[in-house]
């Protein structure tokens, strides 16, 4: 198992947002998380890379890294956790005063202290991969939302993560721009990236995921293959949610 989560829980003050979450994900697998707004999807995703710290629970990776959040967690543990994943945000979060190429080069050079020429070549290759070969020197404001999000994906990939996390990557986009971002994500899935995706794109989730997980009110209501969860849900809450959005 690449990653296993056991008994994860998180509260913000009195608000218990994640309750007893168990998840397992294999290397090369795509897991999609669906559920109504406020159900805890984003918070869960942020726990995977230490942007939020759970109050309880265990995160274990196949390389032996083991975090028990009831015990003491060091800065080093969090850094190590953070290094494992690349995050793609709903709102792209690009540096506005840097070009597409510079946005991608920033992390590998500043954080990873890698060789500049090597990083530049890699950044060019990644921009080509996401279909933006001719936009290397464009600033975010000169790019469409879909193009900015593709830069966001390339930027996450440049850090060579083991796990890619996507937080509603298409929900800020105009409908006609969604497809180009989903196409890039589909290609990553075909290249066997391990991915966890929070999304409202049910059809897309169904096509690319090995597993779909439905959350409501901080609980995992059900998880399984897309066929199982999306086509023949067992739980009333899942059925109601799917009826509402499909
Ligand atoms: P979803 O992604 O499913 O919409 P979220 O994980 O964003 O759900 O939010 C789940 C709950 O946690 C909501 O009630 C939200 O208000 C609360 N929440 C999220 N982040 C914070 C925070 N930083 N501080 C306080 N409450 C938060």
Q: How far apart are CA 160 and CA 152, in angstroms?
A: 14
Testing ligand 1's pocket by substitution, the residue of 14, 35, 40 carrying the most ligand atoms inside 8 A of its CB is 40
CA of 195 to the centre of ligand 1 (A): 22
| Residue among 233, 228, 164, 234 at smallest CA distance from 199 | 164
- Structure token pair of residue 126: 């990644």
With a pLDDT cut of 70, the percent of the chain lying above it is 100
pLDDT at residue 131, as a whole number: 97
| Nearest Cα residue to atom 1 of ligand 1 | 38
The pLDDT tens digits of the residues spanning 159-201 come to: 999 999 999 999 999 999 999 999 999 999 999 999 999 999 9
Stretch 135-146: mean pLDDT:
98
Q: What is the ipTM of this complex?
A: 0.98
- Select from 55, 48, 75 the least CA-distant residue to 11: 55
Residue 32 has pLDDT above 90, yes or no: yes
Assess whether pLDDT exceeds 90 at residue 42: yes
Atom in ligand 1 nearest the alpha carbon of residue 167:
2
How far, in Å, is the centroid of ligand 1 from the Cα of 242?
21
Give which of 199, 1, 190 is closest to 88, Cα–Cα: 199
**Which residue has the least CA distance to atom 22 on ligand 1?**
12
Q: What is the C-alpha separation between 26 and 31, in angstroms, rounded?
A: 9
218 CB less than 6 Å from ligand 1?
no
pLDDT bucket at 136, cuts 50 / 70 / 90:
very high
pLDDT at 13 over 90: yes
Phi-psi group of 215: left, alpha or beta (phi > 0 → left; psi -120 to 50 → alpha; rest → beta)? beta
Q: Is residue 39 in contact with ligand 1, taking CB distance under 6 Å?
A: yes
Instruction: Grade residue 127 by pLDDT with cuts at 50, 70 and 90.
Output: very high
Residue 21's pLDDT is: 98
Q: What confidence score (pLDDT) does residue 246 get?
A: 80
Q: Choose the residue to mutate in 13, 21, 43, 47 for probing ligand 1, maximizing ligand atoms within 8 Å of C-beta.
A: 43
Q: How far is the CA of 18 from the centre of ligand 1 (A)?
A: 10
Q: Of 20, 187, 173, 213, whose CA–CA distance to 90 is shortest?
A: 173
Mean pLDDT throughout 50-60? 96
Question: Best of 16, 21, 42 to mutate for ligand 1, by most ligand atoms within 8 A of CB?
Answer: 42
- Nearest ligand 1 atom to the CA of 215 is 3
226 CB within 6 A, ligand 1? no
Averaged confidence pLDDT in the chain: 97
pLDDT at 38: 97
């Amino acid at each position: 198992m690449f990653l296993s989560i056991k008994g994860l829980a998180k509260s913000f003050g009195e608000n218990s947002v994640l309750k007893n979450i168990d998840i397992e994900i294999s290397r090369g697998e795509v897991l999609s998380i669906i559920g109504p707004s406020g159900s805890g999807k984003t918070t869960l995703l942020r726990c995977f890379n230490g942007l939020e710290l759970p109050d309880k629970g265990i995160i274990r990776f196949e390389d032996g890294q083991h975090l028990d959040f009831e015990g003491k967690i060091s800065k080093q543990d969090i850094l190590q956790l953070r290094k494992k994943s690349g995050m793609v945000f709903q709102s792209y979060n690009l540096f506005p005063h840097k070009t597409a190429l510079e946005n991608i080069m920033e992390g590998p050079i500043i954080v990873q202290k890698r060789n500049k020429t090597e990083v530049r070549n890699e950044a060019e290759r990644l921009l080509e991969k996401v279909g933006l070969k001719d936009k290397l020197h464009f600033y975010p404001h000169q790019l469409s939302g879909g193009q900015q999000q593709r830069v966001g994906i390339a930027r996450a990939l440049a850090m060579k993560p083991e796990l890619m996390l996507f937080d509603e990557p298409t929900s800020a986009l105009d409908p006609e721009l969604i497809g180009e971002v989903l196409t890039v994500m589909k290609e990553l899935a075909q290249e066997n990236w391990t991915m966890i995706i929070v999304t409202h794109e049910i059809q897309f989730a169904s096509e690319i995921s090995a597993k779909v997980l439905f959350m409501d009110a901080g609980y995992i209501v059900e998880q399984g293959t897309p066929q199982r969860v999306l086509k023949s849900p067992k739980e009333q809450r899942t059925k109601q949610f799917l009826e509402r959005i499909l």
